[in-house]
Amino acid sequence: MKWIFLFCLTTVAGMAQPVQVYTELARLDASGKVLAPETPREILSPALVRNGFTSFQVAITAEKGEHWRLFVGQNPENAVAVTMYRETGQRLEKVELPLEADGPAVLWMDAWTVRGAPVARIKLEPQLEYREDWVIYPIEGRVMEATVGDGLWPAGAEDPVDGIRGFVCSVKPGEGVPSPANSPVTIAGLRYRNARQDLTLAVKAPKEELQKLVGPCEAPRPDDAEWYLRIRDYLFRLR
């Protein structure tokens, strides 16, 4: 019984941590609470694609008015290039690290991995100073052999599910509309950019394998907000 109690205590303590990391497809409210899916994917050892971006949401669930500072630790140092954004509605405002603010916030951690990065495990850890203590969210990223094709990613807002279904079902995906350099970064825009990266990997995959993962072209949209990640998992394992 003692080990069950300790397990439960550890789980509750983990849930109460003021910094949590989620996939780019999880749906969060402004306080960092997960709206969907019911059980979001745990981020502990995520795959990182080379010559491309991998994005995460960082939820700071500090009490209203309470101050905090956020750092992102890496080992090796500068293993990836990190750009941080703060979410404001559907827009993302670029911020600099270390970031200081008060109360709850939803941030985006956009990690760029260069083409020639060694295939290895790296530390990529949000580190929060809060209430005179440090809370570290441990992430051991896996730099994969999969390498995104070169290209400029057009602006757009097509859902990743629609993009991969369009590719597999021979429906041309939307090309998006080029945007001015000063146009705002949006949540939908980052998701679209990352899904377009995935399509440069999908051209190397056997069409029948992708069809198995995507399922019937006429099937209704999946209810799971993170359903598309099963496709990305497969693509990131390609060599």
Report, as an integer, the average pLDDT of 98-113: 97
**Tokens matching residue 189:** 């825009």
How, if at all, do strands 121-130 and 67-75 pair?
A: antiparallel
Q: Which residues are CB-contacts of 181 (< 8 A; sequence separation ≥ 6)?
A: none
Report, as an integer, the average pLDDT of 118-133: 96
Q: Does residue 224 carry a pLDDT above 60?
A: yes
**Domain residue limits, the chain:** 18-146, 148-236
Q: What is the phi/psi pair of residue 229, to 5°?
A: -60, -25
pLDDT of 177 reads: 47
pLDDT tens by residue, 31-82: 999 999 999 999 999 999 999 999 999 999 999 999 999 999 999 999 999 9
Please state which CATH class domain 18-146 belongs to.
mainly beta
